[in-house]
Each structure stands twice: as structure tokens, then as C-alpha cells.
Chains A and B, each alone.
Chain A
Amino acid sequence: MIIGQFIPGQSWLHCLHPKGKLIFVFIYTFLLFWMQDLTAYAVLAIVPIVGYLASGVSIQQVYRSVRPVFLLAIILFLLHLLLTKGGRVVWETSIYTLYSAGLEQGTKVVVRLLLLVLTASLLTLTTSTLALTDAFSGLLKPLERVGVPINSFAMMMSIALRFIPVIGEEMQRIRQAQMIRGASLQYGTLRHRLRSLQSMLIPIFLSIFRRADELAFAMEAKCYNSEHPRTQWRRQSFTQLDLWFAILTSLLILSLCLMRWWH
């Protein structure tokens, strides 16, 4: 998932109410784990496909968003091939037998994982982090009655997300500065690598603290006070678009329920 990599745009996906999108991702996740057969996954796969086509996000960005989970997907797939028994025998040698159930389960797990990551990325790619945290805190609002400081949490989240790219760039600079001085995380003795790690971590932490300090001053200067109520100017109202989205989502749920019942 690309965190903090919102790509601004005007597609209908961008215009949907963030709360609606967030709820949809929850429902979608539930459906992915509830449904067990590949036909259902084929239906569910329509969501990211249509979504990416509509969002205008490039294929490279899609690739980037799933790249981090490829390794995990491969490992899960191989584990199922090795460990799951059942069904008919597909291939047999003296030390290892490949069962059809292993193949099927492995495929399902991988498909499920990819669909989940793709759909969740779609949410973060088309919703600004601020809107997303607002939606989060809006949904969690009832918890405020029992004393959970939802607004402060939401602010913390959105700031953390905003600074990820800034800190990422800084880390790159620090890594290079220390590489020039002979630091390396991949080569040399363990002692050398640990010292290299230290040479990168300390400047990174110091830089984060320095930034946090300045940011706190800047926020206070802009009258931020966690105890005051804040207006939320992006508070979108639900539109006709959201209504259609809700209808389509219900249809999707209904058809999947029918499919499950059919089996």
C-alpha cells in the first residue's frame, strides 16, 4: 500500500465521500475472507480493475503498490504447496507429493492478498490523507464518549502520514552521506554493520526530533489547540454519486450472498 502517496485528481473515485470509501474497504475485506471460491474472487476482482481504470492511476503506480507484498505472496503460496494436503494428487516423487488442494488454497491466498492490497491502495491513492484521517475519526467518534481523544489521534495520524515522504528523502541523504564515509549495511563484519546502522539511525532520529519541535511551534502559531473544537472545511456531504456507490455495493454484496447460498 502506498502510504502518504495521494495522487490528486478529479475522477468519480476521488469525488466519493471518504467515509463511504473507507466503509467499502472494510466490507470488501470482510467479503474477501468470507467468500471461499475462485468464481467469487473473479467477481470481487472487478472492483480494483474498474477502480484503477476510473482513477487514472498509471500501471507503474499499481505495480509499485503491490510490489512490497510480492515476496509475502510467494512465501504463502509455497507454504500451501508444501503443507496443505487433500484433493487429488497432481504430481508425485519419492519425497514430495503435490495435492490439488494445496495448489487451490495457495492460489486463493495469493489472489485474496493481492485483491486486498490493490483495493486498499486504491483508497489511499484517491483520498488525501487528511480526508482519510477525518473519515477515520468520524467513524470512531462514538468512542469519544468513553474518553478516547479521537481528534488528537486523527491529527497525529495525518501529520505522521504527511512527513513520511519528507523523512524518506532525509533518510536517503543520510544513507549516502554515511556511505561516503565507508558505512555499509550489507557488507563487512557484524560489528561494522552495527556501527553503520548506528551512524544512520542517530542522525535520522535527531532530524525527526528537530522537525517535530519546529512543527509543534508552527502549529501553535497557527492557533492549534487540541482542546478547542475545530471546523472541518472538507466535510463533504453525501451526494448522488455516493448513493449510486451504495446501491452498487449492496448489489455486489447481494450477488455474492446468492453465490454462497447457491453452493
Chain B
Amino acid sequence: MPVYIAKRLLVAIPTLLIISIFVFSLQKLLPGDPILAMAGEERDPATLAFLREKYRLNDPVIMQYFHWLGGILTGDFGISLRTNQPVLELIGQKLPVTIQLAMMAMFFALAIGIPMGILAAVWKNTAIDYFANFVALCGLSLPNFWLGIMLILLVSVNLGWLPASGYESIFVDPVRSIKTTLMPAFVLGTGLAAQIMRHTRSSMLGVLSADYIRTARAKGLSPWTIVMSHSFRNALLPIVTMSALLFGELLAGAVLTEQIFTIPGFGKLIVDAVFNRDYAVVQGVVLCTAIGFILMNLVADILYVLLNPRLRVNL
């Protein structure tokens, strides 16, 4: 297994290098002189020349890239223009908030998606299946920022059950933390629940038509045992690996949810950075999201091998 993980990590290196080129190139898309954008109101030629020298903008582009990459590799993602903090430190502060939100969203997605998928597969082509498919279709089509707004209107404004915005760390006040993240996590998890439902249904349908299930039925096992012990356990493999992949997407999906519920996480960081023209932060967030996504891909691959005994033998 360690050799397998090492191989997968090696494969990720060229991917990360290409992503770094993309992220670096983003600043070259900026219309006009980036130093003027960075300097804001400041137009003193000496200051502009100093900034140009500081950010090595007089060097050839390729040298600028390697200088920038060298910084990234040593943990120097630049300094936020708005807060004057190192970008990596800023990301380190915001990321745990988004991870908490993403984990709760994943809980909702699994708790809704898996049972619905199983029911739809077991009762294929019945009213239950049609209903589950319709709910999944709605989940995939609902813009989550609209769902968030509607839930705020219903749950917070009209019923007054949960706060409409804000965040509290789970280590400071766990009850308030859950109260503030419950609704955003549900909003974030709905689209995912729909995908997990569809995946569970198709995975279960594949297993339920297998020969060994027919044998289990012929042996007279109870339907519950057949579905839960024989079918679901085997159908779980692709669901687990897909969930790991979707977790990476949750980090990105949190952008709008955090904006609506004013949660000071990773997603809100990039939006605030965009409006403050804090480009080093935007680049840092994009790069970290990609790294997170690649790591979750790796986790998915490892889980796939760990959970599948037939693959484990070949390692």
C-alpha cells in the first residue's frame, strides 16, 4: 500500500505543476498594469518602481513563474493586500470553518441520499422510485443560493427557529456552532444528496441483479438481510469513493452558501478577495482548492483499493 500511495502522489506532481502554471497565468489576465492595480491610489513613480522590483515584474515571465513557484513550495503564498497577513495564514484560519460546514453537509447528503437510493432500487419502477427520482431531479436543479434564501425566509424570519447568519466555532460554543451551521450545511448537502441518491440507486440495481442475490433469495433469506447484508455492502464501494470525490467539490460549493449565511470560511474569503482586488488571496485559494481536490481523489483511490479485497491482492 505505501508503494501504491507513493506512486499516486508522484502522478499528482505534473498535475499540480500544470495547475500552478494556470494559477500563475491568472495574474497575467489582469487588464492593464498589475502594479497600478496593486498600488491603488498611489501613483508615485518611485513607489511603482519599488513595487515592480519587489514583485520582479522587470524579469522575464518564465523567471517570474519560477520565483513565484519557489515561494509557493516554501509556503510563501504572498501577502494579503487587505489584511496584510500572509495568505497561507489567512487560509489556515478560514479552512477549518469550511471543513466543518462540508462535513455536516456530507452527513446530510449521505443521510438523505443513501436511504432514498436504496428504496428507489428495491422498489424500482414503483411510485417510491418515481418519487425518489423526482426529489433527486429537484435537488440537482435547485440553485443552492436560492434554497438558502428561501430557508432563511421560512426558518429564520417566519419561524425564528435558527439564526439567519453568523458562525461560532465548535470548540467555543458547540450548541450555537451547530445552530449556525445546520441550515447552511443542509443547503450545501442537497445537491450532493441528489447525486448520491442516483449513484446508490444505480449501484444497488447492479448488485440486486447479480447471481449471488438470486441464490440468497433462493435460500430463503429475509428481504432485509438480502438488501442490507448482501446487496448494500457490495454496492457501498462506489458510493464511498464517490463521496470522497464529492467532498472536494463541497469546498468549492461552500462559496455561495457562506456568502448567503455570512459564514467566515474559505468560500467567503475568495469572494471578499475578488471584490478587494486581493489577487494573491484569490490565487492562494484556487491553488489550495485544487490541492484539496487532488488529495480527495487520492483518498478515493485508496479507499477503493482498501474496500475492494480483489484489488488489494494485486498491490
* A is bound by B: no
